């Protein structure tokens, strides 16, 4: 009797618990079915975009006779981790989580060697647009056409913006600094050089204008993306072209103040004196012209060897320029100074 009473009391609780567990199981299954396709689709989309970027980059390299990059899983992991961190923290640059550098992130993923890194992002930016931006920026183009062997690409999308990170590398140990030398600032002699300084948004000036002072490695596109201003607006406002190279210390107008007039177009210098390491292509990129125009203007042919100190004409002489007149010279008649002849001595004879 006691056993039957206990069974009668426990059975309803058991049945209720069973029903509850069945309902929980159904909820879990439904949640998994809802989440898995979305997550799988997101990962697939990221993988497809990264794959397309690599294909486009390798096709670009082929036009220059360069071998294709080989996909490296460690660089891929490092690139994906960095792009995820940038998007999550709304911070874009080559300095990543914990102040890490591209080399730090590659090393943490297991890849030791020389590392180059590109990043780009934009609203609904597709892989072709990303690669095109890199091709049009000299410092990023250099990564695409570098002698590196491996590549990894990561992508992330958030808020309608798609961001890409490309890491190119060559395996090998970083060369050690000579043991008898030490950096003047007491820092690490093997520390990574700063290739690109992240863009920091400038505060408006008193007149309401926003002016960005260029730091090393920054491009007009970097400034455009960071300030959220269309690239064409910045190029037009500053009399720049898509091939223009910005230099540290230059001021770039991002926005004019109320009633402020655009800055006047800069006057192109007549000549450029070649510095160590510069080429005709470098000069063309600096001044927003083309190699063919410079060659024609200077009467040069492709393949010519130039040396530091050589002068490259940047523009034809101004046809409206007038020569400074020489001062008027009045010619005076010559002054004749009379010359007195010496007296002729009298002839003498012997008488």
Q: Say how far apart CA 112 and CA 272 lie, in whole Å.
A: 40
Domain range for 237 is 209-255
Cα 165 to its chain centre, rounded Å, is 13
- Provide the residue count of the chain: 351
Contact 152, 77 (CB under 8 A): yes
Kindly report the backbone phi and psi dihedral angles of residue 175, in degrees, each rounded to the nearest multiple of 5, phi listed first.
-60, 140
Give the 3-state secondary structure of residue 94.
Answer: coil
Fill in the DSSP letter of residue 20: H
Q: Say how far apart CA 227 and CA 233 lie, in whole Å.
A: 12
Residue 211 has pLDDT above 90, yes or no: yes
Q: What is the mean pLDDT of residues 50-60?
A: 95
- Asked whether residue 306 falls in the same domain as residue 242, the answer is no
Contact 92, 198 (CB under 8 A): yes
Q: How confident is residue 46, by pLDDT bands cut at 50, 70 and 90?
A: low
Global pTM value: 0.45
- Asked whether residue 275 falls in the same domain as residue 237, the answer is no
Q: Say how far apart CA 107 and CA 170 lie, in whole Å.
A: 12
By mean pLDDT, which of 134-148, 180-194, 244-258 is the weakest? 180-194
Quick check: is 27 in a domain? no
Higher pLDDT, 271 or 23: 271
Question: 302 is written with which tokens?
Answer: 């492709």
CATH of the domain at 228: 3.10.350.10
Q: First CA to last CA across the chain, in angstroms?
A: 199
* Number of separate domains in the chain: 3
Q: Say how far apart CA 36 and CA 34 lie, in whole Å.
A: 6
- Asked whether residue 57 falls in the same domain as residue 128, the answer is yes
How far, in Å, are 110, 155, 207, 283 from residue 47 at the CA level? 21, 8, 47, 39
The residues with which 157 forms a beta bridge, in sequence order, are 162
Give the 3-state secondary structure of residue 326.
Answer: coil
Quick check: is 345 in a domain? no
- Asked whether residue 161 falls in the same domain as residue 241, the answer is no
Q: What is the dihedral of CA 191, 195, 197, 199, to 10 degrees?
A: -150
Q: What is the mean pLDDT of residues 182-198?
A: 44
Question: 13 is written with which tokens?
Answer: 């609780």
When the pLDDT of each residue in the chain is averaged and rounded to a whole number, the result is: 75
Q: How confident is residue 36, by pLDDT bands cut at 50, 70 and 90?
A: very low
Quick check: is 276 in a domain? yes
pLDDT digits (tens, 9 = 90+) for 288-306: 677 888 888 888 888 778 8
Q: What is the CA radius of gyration of the chain?
A: 36
Q: Say how far apart CA 162 and CA 156 lie, in whole Å.
A: 6
- Asked whether residue 83 falls in the same domain as residue 164, the answer is yes
Give DSSP secondary structure letters for 33-82. HHHHHHHHHHHHHHHHHHHHHHHHHHHHHHTTTPPPPEE-HHHHHHHHHH
| Cα dihedral sign, 291-297-298-299 | positive
Quick check: is 72 in a domain? yes
């Amino acid at each position: 009797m006691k056993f039957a009473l206990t069974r009668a009391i426990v059975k309803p609780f058991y049945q209720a618990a069973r029903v509850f567990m069945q309902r929980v199981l159904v909820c879990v299954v439904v949640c998994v079915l809802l989440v898995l396709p979305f997550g799988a689709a997101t990962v697939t989309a990221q993988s497809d975009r990264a794959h397309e970027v690599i294909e486009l980059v390798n096709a670009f390299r082929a036009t220059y006779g360069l071998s294709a990059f080989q996909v490296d899983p460690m660089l891929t992991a490092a690139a994906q981790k960095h792009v995820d961190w940038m998007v999550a923290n709304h911070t874009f640059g080559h300095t990543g989580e914990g102040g890490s550098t591209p080399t730090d992130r590659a090393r943490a993923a297991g890849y030791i060697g020389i590392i180059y890194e590109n990043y780009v992002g934009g609203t609904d930016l597709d892989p072709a647009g990303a690669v095109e931006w890199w091709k049009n920026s000299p410092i990023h183009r250099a990564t695409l056409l570098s002698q590196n062997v491996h590549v990894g690409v990561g992508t992330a999308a958030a808020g309608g913006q798609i961001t890409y990170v490309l890491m190119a590398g060559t395996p090998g140990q970083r060369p050690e600094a000579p043991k008898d030398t030490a950096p003047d600032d007491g820092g690490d002699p093997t520390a990574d050089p700063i290739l690109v300084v992240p863009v920091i948004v400038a505060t408006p000036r008193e007149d309401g204008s926003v002016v960005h002072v260029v730091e090393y490695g920054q491009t007009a596109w970097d400034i455009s993306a960071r300030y959220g201003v269309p690239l064409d607006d910045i190029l037009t406002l500053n009399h720049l072209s898509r091939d223009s190279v910005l230099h540290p210390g230059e001021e770039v107008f991002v926005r004019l103040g109320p009633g402020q007039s655009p800055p006047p177009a800069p006057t192109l210098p007549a000549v450029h004196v070649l510095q160590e390491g510069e080429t005709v292509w470098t000069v063309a990129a600096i001044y927003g012209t083309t190699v063919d125009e410079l060659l024609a203007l200077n009467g040069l042919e492709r393949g010519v060897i130039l040396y530091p100190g050589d002068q490259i004409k940047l523009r034809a002489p101004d046809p409206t320029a007038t020569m400074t007149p020489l001062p008027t010279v009045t010619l005076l008649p010559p002054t004749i100074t009379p010359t007195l002849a010496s007296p002729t001595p009298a002839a003498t004879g012997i008488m």
